[in-house]
Amino acid sequence: MHSTDTQHRPRAAPLALNKPEREPKPLGFTALRQWLRHRHPMILLDRIVDHEPGKFLEALLSISGNLDCIAGHFPERAIYPGSHLIQAFAQAGIILYQMSTSMLAEDELTLVGSVESRFLQVVVPGDQVLLRLQVSRLAGGLFIYTGKAMVGNRRVAAFRASLIRAKVSELGSPLW
């Protein structure tokens, strides 16, 4: 046999045609509720589109003109409040934090350490906002993450935040 014989050459792997490297891992509304202590009307996320613990999470938020926050913000030109986008980003971060570590124990809660936000365009009724979060740092009890809010191919906001988990008993005498 000659050295140019194809029998001894490794075969090239077949090309994957439009196949994602991995299948998305979605969570519906009922499943995502298990990761949050929030309840109606404070759960702002509708669905987790995809996630990978310790790396990223993508969540969907659908904006309806029937939302109470839209009625007064503003009656003449409905705009989804930026504070609600921050809250949705925090909720998605809480889910990613727990998925990357462990679920909160009954006597634990998450506290937001800081939030930096930048709003680039308004969000209005009919928009579907895709929140894309990435883990920046996870060390000890500190969780730092960044993200952006997209409507279609438009970036409407950017965020950076930190979370910690704390035992309720360590926060002093509860007022509730």
The sign of the dihedral angle between the CA atoms of 39, 155, 81, 62 is negative
Residue 11 included in any domain = no
Does residue 38 lie within any of the structural domains? yes
Question: DSSP assignment, residue 18?
Answer: S
pLDDT tops 90 at residue 69 = no
**Residue 69 and residue 42 in contact, taking contact as beta carbons nearer than 8 Å:** no
Edge-first strand order for the sheet with 142-151 is 47-52, 56-62, 128-139, 142-151, 154-167, 108-119
- Confirm whether 12 is domain-assigned: no
- Number of compact structural domains in the chain: 1
Q: Supply the CATH number for residue 77's domain.
A: 3.10.129.10
Q: Which are the catalytic amino acids?
A: 73
Query: How far is it, in rounded angstroms, from Cα 90 to Cα 82?
Result: 12
Computed from CA positions of residues 43, 147, 140, 98, in that sequence, does the dihedral angle turn out positive or negative? positive
Write down the mean pLDDT value for the chain. Answer: 90
pLDDT band at 19 (very low <50, low <70, confident <90, very high): low
Is 115 in contact with 93 (CB distance < 8 Å)?
Answer: no
Kindly state whether residue 16 falls inside one of the protein's structural domains: no
pLDDT beyond 70 at 10: no
163 and 97 Cβ atoms separated by less than 8 Å: yes
- Does the residue 4 lie in any domain? no
pLDDT at 127: 98
Within a domain: 17: no
What does pTM read for this prediction?
0.85
Tell me the residue range of the domain where 141 lies: 23-170
Instruction: Compute the distance between CA of residue 33 and CA of residue 31 in angstroms, rounded to an integer.
Output: 5
Over residues 29-56, the mean pLDDT reads: 95
Strand runs (DSSP E) across the chain, as ranges? 47-52, 56-62, 108-119, 128-139, 142-151, 154-167
Give the single-character DSSP code of 103.
P
